[in-house]
Structure 1
Amino acid sequence: MNKKYLHDFGLLCMAIVALSLIARFLAHGQTLAEYEKEKEASSALNSSSAVSTIDDNILDSNASLSEASTASTTDVATIAATKASTESAAEAATDISEQTYAEGFTYSELPQDIVEKISGVSYVDNSNISLDELRYCKVLYNDFDGNVQNGELICNEQIAQDLLEIFYELYNSGYQIESVKLIDEYDGDDTASMLANNTSCFNYRVVEGTQKLSKHAYGLAIDLNPFYNPYITYNKDGSQNISPAGSEAYADRDASFPYKIDENDLAYKLFTEHGFKWGGNWNSVKDYQHFEY
């Protein structure tokens, strides 16, 4: 090999070394093999990062679904609890508004239609008894023909249960009562109700011939079969005033006649057992139809 070829070969080697140094500098001091290894590692890291991101997204999605499921379950539970609470409250309200002693024998707070019916008739605004203290009673009774009838009474809440129990016993025993209607059917007129032999309880009024409120005004008295068990007052001359008119034949309590209330009568026994007083035991007047609490 001559000197010319040696010189060219040396220049080629120097060029190769120079290019190698330049390439390493451009690769931040890495060899091509090192660069390839770093590239592979970077690719693997990016792949792992992508998988991690996907996993995180899946976890976030699952968490959202779990939260939605929990919220949905909570909403269902809340709705169910609210419904149960509402039903329970409705049942409680029903229990409070209507009490049943037996089939056909109930009492409740005054229904709105009854309030409208009695307002300005048997009930007037006053400071002695409120509508809230009164109860509307439904009872069954046997009329004078032996037929079963539906009756209604308004009374003080204190005696509502007692009246149901008493009328239930009277009904089961076949005790006969001609009529059991609100006195409002007679425009609140006590005399008209007695003439019809109607059994009634509440009526905001005074005692006949006085300025004193009757026990009826508080719903604490009841008049039973009044035509056959009249109200009697006595004059100084010994004469009697018998009410209602036409019931004079029944003022003689020694006489025997149907529907007479005396101490052997079932109504007398039941009412007195429940703590009522009988007007037939009074001295200055006799009110044979009358039981008061």
Structure 2
Amino acid sequence: MVYGRAGDEVYVGDWNGDGEDTLGIRRHPGFQVSIVPVTAADIGASWRPGCPVAPAGLRTVVASHWDDGGNVRTGRVVVAAALAGDVADVLEDLYDARFPIHRMVPVAEYGADDDASMAANNTSAFNCRAVTGGSSFSEHSYGRAIDVNPLVNPYVVGSTVLPPAGAPYADRSRDAAGMIHAGDEVVRAFAARGWSWGGAWSSPKDYQHFSTTGR
């Protein structure tokens, strides 16, 4: 028997108090996305003169996503203008798969503090900063890398785990909400657009990180 539409949640209950159970549905809104120019609030301290990409070369992708509680939220992620369409498509795939993204706001909302953004399990992309453990520009500085649910998908090298509160999730046999595993819907969605996953690196393991360059 088919009842409702694909994606509906079907429930049975006595909705009107007449003593008889009937079918009901919970229908979620469809995926919504827009690609817009960045604002000063979007980039804030995450951009400064001398960064390798000017604000005109960036876009904000405003998109629906599921949160950890099964609610539909609207998030924002700042990426290179040339990649915004691909990112929108990835986010649609993740929405269709009901993959939970805990929070998705520009890192500027954390004063461009990557540690604070990671600790909040915030998914973000553009941030003009040095590569972790080095001095050269990271791929995030070009808007061509995204970190997804970083608390539960930490950066791991030796005994160092970033963010530190993500240490329990260095055990990748776990299956907490928002974790990414080899071959799952997140890895496949990014791979379909030519992005690679830091969780496949030999060392470090950057389970949150996707980029177009493999760096």
Scaled to the shorter chain, the TM-score interval is 0.7 to 0.9
The higher relative CO (CA closer than 8 Å, separation ≥ 6) is in 2
2:191 matched to 1:272?
yes
Query: Which residue number in structure 2 is paired with residue 95 of structure 1?
Result: none
Listed one character per residue, the Cα deviations across residues 146-170 of structure 1 (whole Å, up to 9, x for unaligned) are 1111101110012100110110121
Letter in 1 for 2:74: N
Cα deviation for residue 209 of structure 1 reads 1.7
Q: How does 1:1-293 map to 2 (within 5 A)?
A: 104-110=32-38, 114-115=39-40, 118-119=43-44, 121-126=45-50, 128-234=52-158, 240-293=159-212
Query: Could you tell me whether the CA contact under 8 Å between 2:42 and 2:78 is conserved in 1?
Result: no
Distance 1:174 1:104 in 2: 14
Distance 1:146 1:125, change over 3 A: same
Q: Greater CA radius of gyration, 1 or 2?
A: 1
Identity of aligned residues (%): 34
Q: Which 5+ residue runs of structure 1 have no aligned equivalent?
A: 1-101, 235-239
Distance 1:269 1:144 in 2: 21
Distance 2:104 2:83 in 1: 17
Distance 1:116 1:138, change over 3 A: closer
User: For 1:198, what is the secondary structure of its paired residue?
Assistant: coil
Distance 1:103 1:178, change over 3 A: closer
Q: Flag the structure with higher helix content.
A: 1
Cα deviation for residue 127 of structure 1 reads 5.4
Distance 2:176 2:164 in 1: 18
Distance 1:247 1:130, change over 3 A: same
Q: Which 5+ residue runs of structure 2 have no aligned equivalent?
A: 1-29
Cα deviation for residue 218 of structure 1 reads 0.4
Distance 1:127 1:230 in 2: 26
Distance 2:203 2:155 in 1: 11
TM-score normalized with structure 2 length: 0.81
Aligned structure 1 segments of 4 or more residues deviating by more than 6 angstroms: none
Listed one character per residue, the Cα deviations across residues 76-123 of structure 1 (whole Å, up to 9, x for unaligned) are xxxxxxxxxxxxxxxxxxxxxxxxxx962011222xxx225524x001
